[in-house]
Amino acid sequence: MLKVYEYAKCSTCVKALKYLDAKKVKYEKLPIVDKAPSQKELKEMLAALKDKGGSIKNLFNTSGVMYKELKMSEKLPSMSEAEAIKLLSEHGKLVKRPFVIGDNTHLVGFKEDEWKKVF
């Protein structure tokens, strides 16, 4: 089953869920603030992002308040991947959303062009 970690007050998440509903895609909706993705899921997503030229930074909600409050733009370059994954798994507000993971499906954020290739 496809898991969609989302935040109800996030307009991007609302658009993404409407997109999935319109395509009749079945998914499990999870509140990212209450239940962040697991370290295993984050590592799996990171591997998929790296295959597309991405990096650990692509997992972070860089425009979020918590990212700015924690001064992550300064800290992230010197953090190990393991430290960053642990931090993301403990603080769902730091994770870029929606965070969509399932069998052969790995999407972070909502870019309709990318989503059309998957759904």
C-alpha to C-alpha distance for 43 and 38, rounded to whole angstroms: 9
Q: What is the pLDDT of residue 58?
A: 97
User: 55-92 pLDDT, tens per residue?
Assistant: 999 999 999 999 999 999 999 999 999 999 999 999 99
What's the whole-model pTM score? 0.94
94, 96, 97, 101 alpha-carbon torsion, rounded to 10°: -110
Q: What is the pLDDT of residue 4?
A: 98
Give the CATH number of the domain where residue 12 resides.
Answer: 3.40.30.10
Mean per-residue pLDDT of the chain? 96
Q: Mean of the pLDDT values across residues 9-14? A: 95
**Among 116, 96, 110, 112, residue whose Cα is nearest residue 42:** 96
Confidence of residue 33 (pLDDT cuts 50, 70, 90): very high
Q: Mean of the pLDDT values across residues 19-34? A: 97
Contact present, 94 and 69 (Cβ < 8 Å): no
Q: Mean of the pLDDT values across residues 86-111? A: 96
Q: What is the pLDDT of residue 41?
A: 98
Domain containing 44: what range?
A: 2-118
Q: Is 61 helix (H, G, I), strand (E, B) or coil?
A: coil
Q: What is the pLDDT of residue 98?
A: 98
Q: Is 12 helix (H, G, I), strand (E, B) or coil?
A: helix
C-alpha to C-alpha distance for 75 and 8, rounded to whole angstroms: 28
Please count the structural domains in the chain. Answer: 1
